Amino acid sequence: MAAQDVSGDKARVAALRAQLDRYAHAYYVQDAPEVPDAEYDRLLRELQALEAAHPDWITPDSPTQRVGGAALAQFPPVRHAVAMLSIRTETDTEATGAEAFDARVRRELALAEDAPPVEYVCEPKFDGLAMSLRYEHGLLVQAATRGDGEVGEDVTRNIRTIRQIPLRLPAAAAIPVPPLLEVRGEVYMRRADFEQLNERQRERGDKTFVNPRNAAAGAVRQLDPAIAARRPLSFFAYGLGEVTPPEAGGPDFGTHYALLQALGSWGFPVAPQVCIAHGATDLVAFHQRMGAARDGLPYDIDGVVYKVNSLALQRQLGFVTREPRWAVAHKYPAQEQMTRVEAIDVQVGRTGKLTPVARLAPVFVGGVTVTNATLHNLFELRRKDVRVGDTAIVRRAGDVIPEVVGIVAPTLPAARGSLPAEVALAARGGPSPQGALRRIPRQPYVPNFRMPRQCPVCGSAVVREHGEVNHRCTGGLFCAAQRKEAILHFAARRAMDIEGLGEKLVDQLVDAGIVRTLPDLYRLGLSSLVALDRMAEKSAQNVLAALEKSKQATLPRFLFGLGARHVGEATAKDLARHFGSLDAVMDASVEALMEVNDVGPIVARAIRTFFDQPHNREVVEQLRACGVHWPEGPPAPRAVLPLAGKTFVLTGTLPTLSREEAKELLEAAGAKVAGSVSRKTDYVVAGEEAGSKLAKARELGVQVLDEAGMQALLVPPQR
C-alpha cells in the first residue's frame, strides 16, 4: 500500500469517527437526528470497512465498538446488571441476509452439513427505544434506558405513565412471576398517535418531530412526567435482563419462544407476528411477509429480528463486543432518505388549502421512488428553513404522504478532498483546530418562497385567517381543485339534497369533464349520463329527477350548499332569517354581517371574501338562471339596541368593571367605543384618576358619566 493511501485512510477514519460521534450524539442524546439513519449507516459501514482493512487502528471508543449514546446527567444513572446490547444488522434485501446469518450460526455451532435446520424465532424490529423494566416481587420499581449499554437513565416516572406497561404483575400466574425480573422491550409511538401529535404541534406553530422513534425518545426523556403523559406511548416486550436464576427458584424457559409466551401471560404486550422458523427458507419467507405487511402496520418497523430459539444454543454462541452472535436484524428499505430540493411549488387541495410542496430529485424511500414531498404550510417551511438547493430529509412511512422532515445542515469537511467544503472553510478563516466538524453558518432566512396571493389553479384571492396556519383559496365554487368537494357538499342531504349524486358519480362527471361547476349539473342530459360507465337508464333518470326537484330550494339550504368557509347549517339559517334574500346577503358589508347572531369578524370576513370573488358570484347567477329558486322575504326587523349609533370613550379606573368589560357591555348594546374624545363623542365614562380625556370632554361639552350612569343606559328603553 502506498504511504499516501495509508495516511489518507487514516485521516478518513478520523473524519468518519468525528462525524459519526456527532450524529450519534444528536440522535441518542439530543433526540434530534441531523441525518437520516440510512446516511449514518452508510458512513458506519465505510468506517467498518476501513477498520477491517487496518484492524490495528481500531480503538475501544470507535463508533463501531460502542452501543448507543451517553446518559443524560438530568436523570439518575442506572448500571445494568446485564448489558443492553445492539444487534448486528443485515441490510441485504434479498435472501442473502437471512442465508448469511443461518450459515454463520451453523458454522459457529459446528453443525454438520446434514444436521436438521436450526430453529429460530422471528420478530418485527420495532423502531422505538429500548427499555429495561425492573420488577421486584411483581412490582415495577425501575425503568431504565439503554444509555451506552452499561449505564442508562432512570426514567421510571415517565414510564409509569404508559398504560401498556403493568405496574404490578399477577400474583397467581400459571408460570409464577420470579421475585426479580427485568423485562426488556421497545417503547414506541404508534403512527396515528405520532401524526396527531405532529398535527397538534403544527396547529400551534410548534416544532414537529422527525419520526415516531424520535418523538418517543423525546417523551421518555421528558423531565416533566405530565408532558410525557400527554405523549401517547406504547410498548412491546421481547426479552429479559437480570432474572432470579433457576437455582434460586427462578424460571427455566428453555426457549426464547417460551419466554415470550410467559411475558404475554404476565400482561406484557408481545408482537402478534412472532413465530417460529426452521432454517433460512423460513426466515426469508418471514422477511417477505412482514415486508408486505409493513405499510399497513399501525407502527413503524425498520426490519425483522431473527433469534436462535434455544437458550442453551444462545449461551453457546455468546457475544461479540456489542452484539449477540445468536441474533440478527434484517432491515427494510429506509423510511427516511436525503435528496435535493429542486423547486418549491404550491398545491391546492380539495378543500382549498394551499400546501407548499417540495419537488425533489427522485429518491427511493419507504419502498417507492418519491419526487414530491409536502412542506405542510408556510410557517413549517420557514421553521425548517427549507430552501431550493438544500439537501432535505424526506420521510415516507405507510400510507402517509411523503414529507420533508428537515434539512441536512451543511458540515465541514464533507469528505476527503471535497473541494467546495474546503473552499468554503478557507473563506471563513481556514480549518478549525483538530479538523473538527463545523457547521457552515447559514445566511439569515431570505424568503425565496412566497405564498401566491392568487390561487394558482383558479386565480381567486388567497387568504389566511387570523390565528390559522393554512392559506386557502376563496374561489370554492369555481376552483378546479375544489370541484369535487364543492359538488358533493352542494348535493349533500342537509344542503340541496340531490339523491344519487354521490362520490362515485361526481368523480366520473368531473373526471370526464362533463361537470365543471355547479350549474353544469342542471345542464346534464340523459344521454351524457347513460354514456357513463355502469350507469343504467333508470338510475340516470332518477338523478335527473332529483336534480329537478332540488331546484325548489330554501334560502338556508342554498346558502349552506355554497360551501363558503364557516357557513354551517346554523349560520346559513341565521343569515337567511336576518337578511331575507340572497342579494342582501351577498351585498352585506362585514359590519352588517356581524349584526347576525353568532357571526363574528372572522366569519363575517370569510363570507364577504367569498362573495367578493367574481367567479363565485357568476356561479350563483348561473344557478339562478338554471331555475334554482327559493322563497325570499323581507329582512327580519332589527332588534333595537339601546345605544346604537352612540360613541363612547372610557377613561380612568371604574369601580367594578375593567376597561375591557365595560367596552364589551357597551358594544353589546350597539355602541362604538373610541380611543379619544372628539366632537363626535356622545359620552365619556370617567372613573378614578381620569386625566386629559376628561378635561377634553369638559372643554368640548361632552356629557360625562360615571359607571352607574353608564349601566343605566345599557337597559333597553321600555316600550
The least CB distance from residue 188 to ligand NAD, in Å, is 9
Angle separating helix axes 503-511 and 483-491, nearest 10 degrees: 140
Q: How far apart are CA 455 and CA 354, in angstroms?
A: 8
The least CB distance from residue 390 to Zn ion, in Å, is 28
113-132 binders of ligand NAD (CB under 6 A):
123, 125-126, 130
Do the beta carbons of residue 194 and residue 212 sit within 8 Å?
Answer: yes
Q: Smallest Cα–Cα separation from 281: which of 113, 125, 118?
A: 118
Q: How far apart are CA 46 and CA 265, in angstroms?
A: 44
Q: If binding is defined by CB under 5 A, does position 457 make contact with Zn ion?
A: yes
Do the beta carbons of residue 330 and residue 287 sit within 8 Å?
Answer: yes
Of 234 and 482, which has the nearer Cβ to Zn ion? 482
- Piece of the chain touching Zn ion by CB under 5 A; list 136-144, 176-184, 373-381, 459-467: 459-467
Q: How far apart are CA 324 and CA 88, in angstroms?
A: 8
DSSP letter (8 states) at residue 297: S
Q: How far apart are CA 390 and CA 315, in angstroms?
A: 49
Cis amide leading into 413 (omega within 30): yes
Q: Which residues contact 339 (CB under 8 A, 6 or more apart)?
A: 360, 361, 362, 363, 370, 391, 392, 394
Question: Cα angle at 329 between 328 and 330, to 5 degrees?
Answer: 115
Among ligand NAD, Zn ion, none, the one that 546 touches (CB under a kind-dependent 5 to 8 A) is none
Binding to ligand NAD by CB under 6 A, coded x per residue (else -) over 321-340, reads --------x-----------
Of 284 and 344, which has the nearer Cβ to ligand NAD? 284
The least CB distance from residue 92 to ligand NAD, in Å, is 15
- Return the C-alpha cell found at 484: 369535487
Residue listed under C-alpha cell 418523538: 215
Q: If binding is defined by CB under 5 A, does position 475 make contact with Zn ion?
A: yes
Q: Is 125 marked active-site? A: yes
The least CB distance from residue 155 to ligand NAD, in Å, is 14
DSSP letter (8 states) at residue 30: S
Q: If binding is defined by CB under 5 A, does position 479 make contact with Zn ion?
A: yes
- Beta pairing, strands 672-674 & 647-651: parallel
Q: If binding is defined by CB under 6 A, does position 27 make contact with ligand NAD?
A: yes
Q: If binding is defined by CB under 6 A, does position 24 make contact with ligand NAD?
A: yes
Q: If binding is defined by CB under 6 A, does position 37 make contact with ligand NAD?
A: yes
Radius of gyration of the chain (CA): 34
Q: If binding is defined by CB under 5 A, does position 458 make contact with Zn ion?
A: yes
- Piece of the chain touching ligand NAD by CB under 6 A; list 20-28, 221-229, 382-390, 548-556: 20-28
- Piece of the chain touching Zn ion by CB under 5 A; list 184-192, 472-480, 483-491, 703-711: 472-480
Q: If binding is defined by CB under 6 A, does position 437 make contact with ligand NAD?
A: no
Q: Smallest Cα–Cα separation from 237: which of 188, 189, 283?
A: 188
Cα torsion 20, 26, 28, 30 to 10°: value is: 160
- Of 10, 125, 484, 551, the active-site residue reads 125
Binding to ligand NAD by CB under 6 A, coded x per residue (else -) over 274-313, reads -------------------------------x--------
Q: If binding is defined by CB under 5 A, does position 486 make contact with Zn ion?
A: no
Of 121 and 375, which has the nearer Cβ to ligand NAD? 121
Q: If binding is defined by CB under 6 A, does position 238 make contact with ligand NAD?
A: yes
State in Å, rounded, how far the first CA of the chain is from the last one: 108
Q: If binding is defined by CB under 6 A, does position 32 make contact with ligand NAD?
A: no
The least CB distance from residue 478 to ligand NAD, in Å, is 46
Active-site positions read 125
Residues that bind ligand NAD (CB under 6 A): 23-24, 26-27, 33-37, 40-41, 67-68, 86-87, 89, 123, 125-126, 130, 146, 186, 238, 305, 329
Residues that bind Zn ion (CB under 5 A): 455, 457-458, 460, 473, 475, 479
